[in-house]
A = this chain, B = another copy of it.
Amino acid sequence: MNRMNKTIAFFGMMTMAVVMVPSVWAQDSRWSSEDSAMVARIHDHVLGQGGCVEDLRVLCKEVGARLSGSPEADAAILWGAKTLREAGAPEVRMQTVIVPHWERSDVERAWMRIDGGQAEPLKISALGGSIGTEGQIEAPVRVFRQFEELDSLGADGLDGAIAFFNRPMDPLMISAGGAYGGANNQRSRGAVEAADHGGVAALVRSLTHALDTFPHTGAMRYDDAVHRVPAAAVSTVDARRIAGLLSDGHDVRVGLEMGCILHDDKAQANVIAEWTGTEYPDRYIVVGGHLDSWDIGEGAHDDGAGIVHSIEVMRTLVALGYQPRHTIRVVLFINEENGNNGGKTYARKAREKGEWHVAALESDAGGDAPRGWAIDATDAGTEAVRAWRESLVDYGMGDLRRGGAGVDIGPLKKEKPADQRPLMVGLRPNSQRYFDYHHSDRDVFENVHPRELKLGAAALTSMVYLLDRLEYEALGTEDE
């Protein structure tokens, strides 16, 4: 309470525009016997009768990969709306979102030629958003770990070569997500850096700790100031081989033929299930994941898991006869992977309507066993969640850290006064295996563990319940 009073005083001095005090009452944030009973019932229900495993099977096997703009994404939207209705959502609607529509096309092949010898096939995956090759490219490969090495070559240093970015995810980082964050500028910006130094294409080592033969795709961006060159991922096994050949002094040329097409933008939708609160119908708690996936694999962990977790929140709380105090919205966001237009549209509409989002939850870190939560909130909001820690530990979700809670819900805090941001939490499952599957042919239903998936759904449902029990005097995150 002391700390909270200080926070309030601090804000009062900072600006007279702050009218709602940013606080979550600590006295309501403790774990009651009612909370114990409800969280136990939630876990029993999800583990014993939950539908999330079957939902994920259908999404993966009957809908399949579902990149924004694709017919499969349309099918996923219909499936999501139907499944939410069947889960007991009182109201389900579509929110139109304009999404990019990039297509890999059937033309995607590559080859490698060592010391001028025979071409041998090379497995690649065009990065999402890449232009095609307009015919074929074949060029020598030069390997880099850091963009700075390119700079030292000068503006035309690549001289028509293919830039191969081969910095691995740091194996010494405990968090696989952290290691991913340290390597993914190669994927997102490799093509720009290559073109900017006279390169004809970018080849990127797949972002995974696994040493395997699967290329892992993902989003890349162009820069209007730099001409566009194609970009593709190679597997870590191939990356290691190419780097080894180059370091042994061999001449390595790679050929690329990619027919990628950027279609016109397309209207798709966020799927929104709404359950009106009994006490605070005009205060919203949003929970979701993203319905779109990449176009290879089945999007099982990324983010089929988050989608079926979120649907299970609705199914479970309805089945248990819960009456939400705040209005709960389960949102299946579209277009997280290559634009985040679903998250942006949702947040913009919420702003336009003046909706007060007290809390926002996301599951977009896979279907492995939950460990805890990333909390993006004020000190007071963070303390409100931390007050539950000992009980969360009992359910295997007590590892609490401050950090980003999710890409889809992220825009809810943008363009908002500090005192009107929701308390945001993101489910943190075990991260060690996630990038083994991520954005590759390996991200399939069979690689999701059914009990671990259910535990994630129970964790997310429990956290929605707990956040619904809090009293919100005002919203969220301190000014930074």
Residues of A within 8 A of B (CB): 43-44, 47-48, 171-172, 174, 176, 209, 369, 371, 393-396, 398-399, 430, 432-433, 449, 451-452, 455
Selected A-B contacts with CB under 8 Å, 16 pairs: A43-B172, A47-B171, A47-B172, A48-B172, A171-B451, A174-B455, A176-B451, A209-B451, A369-B430, A369-B432, A371-B396, A393-B399, A432-B452, A432-B455, A433-B449, A433-B452
Closest chain B residue to A393 by CB distance? B399
Q: Which residue of B lies closest to A454 (CB)?
A: B171
Neighbour of A396 across the interface among B43, B395, B396, B399, CB < 8 A: B399
Q: How far is the CA of A48 from the CA of B168 in the complex (A)?
A: 13
Chain B CB within 10 A, most for which of A174, A449, A452, A455: A174
Collect the chain B residues with CB atoms within 8 Å of residue A393's CB: 399
* Residues in chain B near residue A398, CB distance under 8 A: 399
Residues of B within 8 A of A174 (CB): 43, 394-396, 455
Q: B residues within 8 A CB of A172?
A: 43-44, 47-48
A396, B173: Cα distance in complex, Å: 12
Report B-chain residues with C-beta under 8 Å of the C-beta of A430. Answer: 369, 430
**Cα separation A393 to B172 with both chains bound (whole Å):** 17
Instruction: Known pairs A399-B399, A432-B455, A433-B452; list 6 more (Cβ under 8 Å).
Output: A43-B172, A44-B172, A47-B172, A174-B394, A396-B399, A433-B449
- Complex Cα distance, B395 from A206, in Å, reads 26
Min distance, Cβ A474 to any Cβ of chain B, angstroms: 29
10 closest Cβ contacts across the A-B interface?
A44-B172, A47-B172, A432-B452, A432-B451, A369-B432, A369-B430, A47-B171, A48-B172, A209-B451, A393-B399
Asked if residues A48 and B396 are in contact (CB atoms below 8 Å), the reply is no
Q: In the complex, A356→B130 CA distance in Å?
A: 66
Complexed CA–CA distance, A398 and B452 (Å): 19
CB nearest neighbor in B for A400:
B393
With a 10 A CB-CB cut-off, give which of A209, A398, A399 has the most chain B CB atoms. Answer: A399
State the CA gap A451–B210 with chains docked (Å). 9
Most central of A172, A369, A433, A451 by chain B CB within 10 Å: A451
Q: Shortest CB–CB separation between residue A369 and chain B, in angstroms?
A: 5
Q: How far is the CB of A208 from chain B (nearest CB, A)?
A: 11
- Give every chain B residue within 8 A of A171 (Cβ-Cβ): 47-48, 451
Residues of B within 8 A of A455 (CB): 174, 432
Q: Please measure, in the bound complex, the distance between the C-alpha atom of A393 and the C-alpha atom of B451, giving whole angstroms.
A: 23
User: Which residues of the other chain, B, contact A396 by a CB distance below 8 angstroms?
Assistant: 174, 371, 399
Shortest beta-carbon distance from A210 to chain B in Å: 9
Q: A398's closest neighbor in chain B, by CB?
A: B399
Q: Which residues of B contact A452 (CB under 8 A)?
A: 432-433
Could you tell me the distance in whole angstroms from the C-beta of A48 to the nearest C-beta in chain B? 6
Q: How far is the CA of A371 from the CA of B392 in the complex (A)?
A: 14
Which residues from chain B contact A48 at a C-beta distance below 8 Å? 171-172
| Among B394, B399, B449, contact of A432 (Cβ-Cβ < 8 Å) | B449
Give the CA-CA distance A252 to B371 in the complex, in Å.
44
